[in-house]
Chains A and B, each alone.
Chain A
């Protein structure tokens, strides 16, 4: 079956098996390897991407279900000129990653949280914990991921204040 979707603003179109999973479409057809795979059962959040701005576990979504939708992966966070998104800066600044395997899913989730929160600099620790609780990380113990997301929110507020 023919499937078309937008990934990071670029249109992809392929003839695929109906059973093809979105994570495999992203990795094998769109050849974007930044989205990883961890469990098959929607439990680990490694494969999270944004579909129309909402987090989605791409290991339990068929590529066909993404037809006509807009997907954002880790490769779509930075600007076209390579300028990093504040969420990427935050993870670096606050040591929010170690092995890097869960990082793409955590960063797009963090991006979504900041975007949808009415007052990102006032996010509580519990709100951040709850938002990322669909993802597993074995390296960081989550403390620094929480700090990373807060850093990004503060950075953006600071930047907006100067404009």
Chain B
């Protein structure tokens, strides 16, 4: 507990702020990496954040979307006359109006196309049909009721297996040559024949059908936009909290045929993203079209039902998996997936990987053979397949392999940790190429697993479990060891819509020695204004309080692909370190002139260059900056000023990993799962700000608790989505989350400039299989149950205990 000698009301941070100092300034603020309170808190704790719905522009009007009540239906007619007659309605836009603007269809991030407003037919429940623009938001909602749409209802498909039936109705009849509901050709990774040989020689084989059910990222702020097209100048200003502003600008330029330089995206503050704010949504295009039509700024903010039912969902992977052992260790893995992409394929994936990074499914183990196939189908469900706190389907892969290791241990009748320990890639094997082609850079998995066992008192827990079992109580212990590949990615391997996945950074040290660093990464709460200042501080030796981090404005930041897939620190963090080192090198040349010596005779210590052998003779970054901008002689070949820019192309992904252990108690009478303990040991390499890293892990663990125990997007047979509010889509509250016990090991990433690996998504990858394994461990020991799918809510656990463990969809 913090105590303070400061009088109430004279809190040191507030005093610093009031006197012009930065809010995060505390006496122990590190000049570089280390625990530091956040600079961005200053506005948030005062209620002075600036989120999308806080934007108000003169003359602004309000948009609302009419949505389809059917999952699959032909549109026979649309009558907008009554809505247009509403005194406060400015315009009503339907598909044929968009066609004249060339905006009826838009590209998805998977090279598919998606209807902005449905013209021919609707293909999922609550699909966008018409866009009303009115003088105020309430009137826009009123006018939606005045639009008359006649539908001819078609049979809907919400089951991915049924989508492959030969007589299944064709969902994407808009696509030339499309004769079935396959969204893309079957994709495979690994050596099938080698894998077959390994299975033929196996001692034990475990087989399971696993469903990672459809769930939703659900940031607390829904999606929205204010689009402001200036008819006089052709300038389009877009206020929209999204995770990839530069990529969005390029997409809008392509979709709308607008000059890219005339489009400016301002993200301001974002109330959480978790992958949900990566895609371009129909509502955004409607707001832009609406501003063009209405000649005024248009605000469109979706409500919670629209967010839950229609925006980027996650997972929906049906996985048939087999894992085998030889000589007491895991030897092979075979997985066949049907991926349900919904009505339009907008799954998140770099171009060359139609199933994203799912083929990292071999996990943390040294296997002799592995093979996976992925088949993607269209259904009458909302499009998406975005990563919910996940790097391109890695979450599904980790769930698959970690469930299968437990299943195999169950079949072998060995301890699940013992099997993992025997099968891990060993430290001396790095860099390690997996059976599906990934090159893991570094790791010491045994060490991390052992630390988690010590923290949990694993052996003690197993003894306690035995005792409880004897008393008729059900206690489960779950284990997961995950390896992620994050920080996409190397331009030779991956791109999104033809854009290489690199990020830029620009750094300018001003004459006073204060600096501005501009980023293409886009915070949604991750604390970039603090962390990235610390990266520069570490490299230049100036206080992070003297470094302003600029982001979220495409006119003022360098090009790059934004924040998702845990890529901020691995890619933008690399760019930031590199640009700071460029400035440091430039400062060295200036210092040599100032100190009348040669650059190679200078040595660096944090914050200053000094003459080797004469440490008293030196120049600080501040004095060098003053010199660089002053009327002074320049070093040969250099221009004045102290600045630089960089574009970072990561040489490889980074591979953070972790060992998680969870403990649950299951009520035998109700099936209610109580999360008693959660131990998480993460190795994300060098931790720039441990406080922020731990905050990220806490958040990911909580989302993992929700996915494992509560969250589910489901449909009835007519294709109606049954989870349109937080009464039906359950997110964990403070009562469902345990006290998280965190540990760390540090294995620096060998190819990253500062040895960091990224951490934002680790916990959300590791937690769902860990908790599910705990539930199944408990149910197996008490009732002999071998598998159940998430979510492990009371009704489903109770059904499983009574021999009826059905998939949720």
Contact = CB atoms under 8 A, between A and B. Distances in A.
Interface of A: 17, 19-20, 27, 32-41, 43-44, 46, 73-75, 78-79, 82-84, 86, 88-89, 91-93, 95, 97-104, 107, 125, 128-130, 132-146, 150-151, 154-156, 158-159, 162
A141 B702 contact: yes
Given A99-B272, A132-B733, 20 more contacts: A33-B53, A34-B49, A36-B271, A40-B305, A40-B725, A74-B46, A75-B46, A82-B14, A83-B11, A93-B37, A101-B219, A101-B271, A101-B272, A102-B220, A134-B733, A137-B702, A138-B218, A150-B1, A151-B1, A158-B3
Contacts of B524: 99
Given A36-B51, A139-B695, A88 B45 contact: yes
B225 to A, nearest CB: 16
Nearest to A148: B45
B527 interface: yes
Contacts of A158: 3-4
B450 interface: no
B701 interface: yes
B734 interface: yes
Contact of B702 (A35, A93, A142): A142
A82 B274 contact: no
A155 B734 contact: no
A65 to B, nearest CB: 17
Contact of A141 (B3, B271, B692, B699): B699
B695 A154 contact: no
B271 A100 contact: yes
26 contacts: A27-B53, A33-B47, A34-B46, A40-B305, A74-B46, A74-B47, A75-B46, A84-B11, A88-B45, A91-B41, A95-B38, A99-B220, A100-B44, A101-B51, A102-B220, A130-B734, A130-B735, A136-B726, A139-B695, A140-B702, A141-B740, A142-B733, A142-B734, A143-B740, A155-B2, A159-B8
B18 interface: yes
B47 A41 contact: no
Contacts of B701: 141
Contacts of A79: 9
A143 B222 CA distance: 24
Interface in B781-806: none
Interface in B5-38: 7-11, 13-14, 18, 23, 37-38
Contacts of A155: 2, 4, 8
Contacts of A102: 220
Shortest beta-carbon contacts, A-B, top 8: A34-B47, A99-B525, A101-B271, A100-B44, A141-B698, A141-B702, A43-B726, A74-B47
A84 B46 CA distance: 8
Contacts of B727: 41, 43
B725 A99 contact: no
B740 A133 contact: no
Given A40-B725, A138-B274, A144-B695, A132 B525 contact: no
Contacts of B18: 82
B691 interface: yes
A98 B695 contact: yes
Given A140-B699, A143-B739, A158-B3, A83 B726 contact: no
Contacts of B735: 129-130, 133
A128 B38 CA distance: 24
A43 B376 CA distance: 35
Nearest to A145: B734
A144 B270 CA distance: 20
A91 B45 contact: yes
Task: With a 10 A CB-CB cut-off, give which of A41, A46, A145, A159 has the most chain B CB atoms.
Answer: A41
A129 B694 CA distance: 20
A107 B699 contact: no
B303 interface: yes
Contact of B219 (A27, A43, A138): A138
Nearest to A131: B734
Task: With a 10 A CB-CB cut-off, give which of A75, A95, A158, A162 has the most chain B CB atoms.
Answer: A95
Contact of B698 (A75, A89, A140): A140
Contacts of B222: 38
Nearest to B523: A99
Contacts of A19: 138
What DSSP secondary structure best describes chain B's contact surface? loop
Contacts of A130: 734-735
Interface string B714-738: 0000000000011100010111010
A103 B14 contact: no
B725 A41 contact: yes
B473 to A, nearest CB: 21
Task: With a 10 A CB-CB cut-off, give which of A33, A74, A129 has the most chain B CB atoms.
Answer: A33
A44 B726 contact: yes
B731 A143 contact: no
A32 B47 CA distance: 9
Nearest to B304: A39
B46 A88 contact: yes
A134 B734 CA distance: 9
A143 B698 contact: yes
A140 B705 CA distance: 13
Nearest to B45: A88
B747 interface: no
Contacts of B692: 95
A98 B699 contact: yes
A95 B37 contact: yes
A44 B220 contact: yes
Given A143-B740, A158-B4, A46 B47 contact: no
B138 A73 contact: no
A158 to B, nearest CB: 6
B436 interface: no
Nearest to B217: A138
B221 interface: yes
B691 A95 contact: yes
Contacts of B43: 100
Given A95-B38, A97-B41, A138-B703, A75 B47 contact: yes
Contact of A92 (B37, B702, B733): B37
Contacts of B7: 159, 162
B731 A136 contact: yes
Contacts of B274: 138
A87 to B, nearest CB: 9
A125 B739 CA distance: 10
Contacts of A101: 49, 51, 219-221, 271-272, 525
A154 B3 contact: yes
Contacts of B525: 98-101, 139
Nearest to A103: B44
Contact of B527 (A35, A98, A137): A98
A40 B303 contact: yes
A83 B37 contact: no
B10 to A, nearest CB: 8
B649 interface: no
B316 interface: no
Interface in B488-524: 524
Contacts of B8: 86, 155-156, 159
A97 B221 contact: no
B605 interface: no
B734 A128 contact: yes
B638 interface: no
Contact of B270 (A73, A91, A99): A99
Contacts of B726: 39, 41, 43-44, 136
Nearest to A101: B271
